[in-house]
Structures are given as C-alpha cells and as structure tokens.
Amino acid sequence: MVFVRTTPPRPVDVTAVFPELAPLARAAIRLHPRAGSPSIRESSVGGPLLWPAEEPWPHCEGTHLDSGFRRSPAEVRLDRRRRARRHHDPHGPESTPEEEAIKERNAARLAERLDAGPPWPAECPVPMLPVAQLYLRDVPLLRPPGQADLLQVLWCPYDHDPDYKPSTALFWRSAAAVVDILATPPEPYEADWPGYVPEPCLLAPEAVTEYPNSLDLSPEMRLALGDWSRWQAADCGVDSSYADCPAEFYDGNLADAPGWKVGGWPPWGRTDPYRRYCAVCDAQMVPLLTIASFEWDGGARRGWAPYEDRAAAYAAGHLAGQAPSQPTKVEVGSTDNMQLYVCPTSPEHPHTDLIQ
C-alpha cells in the first residue's frame, strides 16, 4: 500500500471498566478506501477486477426497480469530477469538452431507450459493477476456500424488491490462475442511483479490535453498561453529559468501528440484531464485509477518523459530494451500511446481505 491510515486509541480501555467484555473482542480490518487509480493487481473499492477473459462477466437477471434516474456510470463519475473541479476552481468553465461529449452520448442513449419502448434495459440482464477487490495478502482476515487468495464483490446498480437494495455477487479465485485478463468489462446501461456507482479507491488496511454493539450484548451486560456509577468508579474520564445514557458513549466510541471493514462486529442501529443462517447448512453466518456510506459521521463516531484525516474530519462544513468521510461516494439505504455475511463452515455456500 502507498499510504497508511491510523485509528486513534479508544478514549477508554473498555475492558478495564468491564472485564467481562474481553472474551467478546473481535479482530477487524478497516479498509480505509481513499480516492485513487487502483490497478487490477491491487486491492480496491470500485477499481478494475482481475477477471479471466474466458469467464462470463456476471449479470443480474432479477426484476429491477426503475427510479427514473437514467444516468450511465460514466456520466455519474464525470459529474463527480466536474463538481470537484468546480470546487477547486470556481471560475473555471462550466463544462469541459469531454464532459459535454459524455452528456451528449448519454442523451442519445436515453433517446434510443425511449424510442425503443418496453422492455426497458432495467428489465433485461444488467452487467454488475465492481464494488471491492480484496487480496488475501492485504486482508489476512479473509477465509477463502481452497487455494483462493482473492475476493471480488460486485453488485447490480438497481434496487430490488422487497428490501430496496442492490443484489450482490461474491467470487473467490486464485490470482495466479488468471492468465488472460478481460480487458474491457461490460458496464450497465445506467444506474438506478449515483450512490451505487463506487468511485475507484485504493486501500490502506488496518487491523483493529472491536467489541459488540450494546444491542448484541446480554440484558445483564446492557444493564451494566447503563450503570453510570460503574463508569464513575473506574475514574476513566467519561464526560458527565453521558450520565443519563453511558451506553451511547460505549456504542459511539468503544464498540464497532464505522466505515468499510472486513470482519469485526455488525454495526446495528437501524434494527435490532438480525441473525442470518446459512441456507445450506443452517450455521449462523458471520460478517464478511461492511460496505459503508460514510467512514465516520459528525457525532461521536467522528472520533474514529484516522489521525491522517483529523484536520479534514473536524473542519467546518463541506460541499455536497465533497465530504472527506465519503471517499467512495457509495450510499446504500438512507446513508446506511450494507453488511455481507458468509457461512463460517464454507465460504462457498451462498452469502447473504443486510442493510443496517
């Protein structure tokens, strides 16, 4: 990796206050995606995949919900570059010749679609978009099957019933076995939402230790976390503003890390914990990858911002689409997370996903 990101130590050693949490510690790897130009030989978010030329590119054949957004991934990416350019050079041209050419091509494709009438392309097999490519050498927490050392994650850039989220596909493979590489993968005609078009990002994987969200704890442990006198007795310097609900301090600062990550604990909050079970062997599934809308938020979770991003994280407001906490430009749900789960018995069993 060509850059690093370092999570600050947690403000409190939670196991010193609650030793009973120590056995619940889990390893996680924060991926820290940041905008860049990854190659097929690098771990990435939204980057090109090391895909065999002889293997068909995955297409989604499900029923797609059409929001009417009607913009190609190329136009989504170009519009982001245009916004970034105007942000840094407010007096520059409204559009460059390249941007105008992309807009014209997209308008022509839209006209063709409308002239053709149904069935719309959203109802046909849709080429999936790369979401993440993770090499085992960079993310050793991965548990690939057999001789595989590479995980590739793709999704369909359309919402699907009944949960209004993209459908996902996982592929495990051996990088050394890929000799002839697909040079030009197909792209979908359009995306249902710009947040389903990941921006190419390099990664700076970092190993961290996590503890379960309070919702994942036993009722007795939740009561202990909510006992302000126990925090006071530990003399750990927790701000008295948390006296009425110290569990909020725990969840925001000490439990699970926000952002893109492999392994660790699930970031519950939108719902209570929702156990997932393997459709093949009925084993309880475990978190594989968290696809996050934001690397941190503006509240307590901002304390998870790496040292190297602290100045940007605590700076005054940012223009829409330019937030340093959203380098991938991905948005799922209502700026939530998508969690991918796999079977601990066999990662080749069908995976599942959940918006949280």
Q: For 13-52, what is each residue's pLDDT tens digit?
A: 999 999 999 999 999 999 999 999 999 999 999 999 999 9
Phi, psi of 24, rounded to the nearest 5 degrees: -95, 0
Report yes or no on 107 lying in a domain.
no
Tell me what the mean pLDDT of segment 334-346 comes to: 92
pLDDT surpassing 90 at residue 168 = yes
Q: Which residue has the higher pLDDT, 269 or 293?
A: 293
Tell me what the mean pLDDT of segment 333-348 comes to: 91
Which residues, in sequence order, are bridge partners of residue 355? Answer: 338
pLDDT surpassing 60 at residue 121 = no
Report yes or no on 88 lying in a domain.
no
Report yes or no on 351 lying in a domain.
yes
Q: Which helix (H) or strand (E) element contains residue 113?
A: helix 97-116
What's the token pair of residue 304? 């998870």
Considering only 149-163, 172-186, 299-313, 337-351, which range has the smallest mean pLDDT? 299-313
Whether the link from the prior residue into 119 is cis, omega within 30° of 0, is: yes
Report yes or no on 91 lying in a domain.
no
Report yes or no on 114 lying in a domain.
no
DSSP for 314-334, please give it. TSS---TT--TT-TT----TT
Q: For 228, left (φ over 0), alpha (ψ -120 to 50), or beta?
A: alpha
Report yes or no on 93 lying in a domain.
no
Q: How many whole angstroms separate alpha carbon 327 and alpha carbon 315?
A: 16
Tell me what the mean pLDDT of segment 159-172 comes to: 90
Domain span at 190: 14-70+121-355
What's the token pair of residue 15? 């196991």
pLDDT surpassing 70 at residue 123 = no
Report yes or no on 308 lying in a domain.
yes
CB 71 within 8 A of CB 106: yes
Q: How many whole angstroms separate alpha carbon 188 and alpha carbon 133?
A: 19
Q: 118 pLDDT band (50/70/90 cuts)?
A: low
Please tell me the pTM assigned to this model.
0.92
**What is the tally of structural domains in the chain?**
1
Contacts of residue 122, defined as CB under 8 A and 6 or more positions apart, other chains included, come to 64, 65, 66, 158, 189, 190, 192
Considering only 13-22, 212-221, 280-289, 311-320, which range has the smallest mean pLDDT? 311-320
Work out whether strand 126-127 and strand 150-155 pair parallel, antiparallel, or are unpaired: unpaired
CB 93 within 8 A of CB 149: no
Q: Which residue has the higher pLDDT, 336 or 203?
A: 203
- Grouping H, G, I as helix, E, B as strand and the rest as coil, residue 339 is strand
Report yes or no on 9 lying in a domain.
no
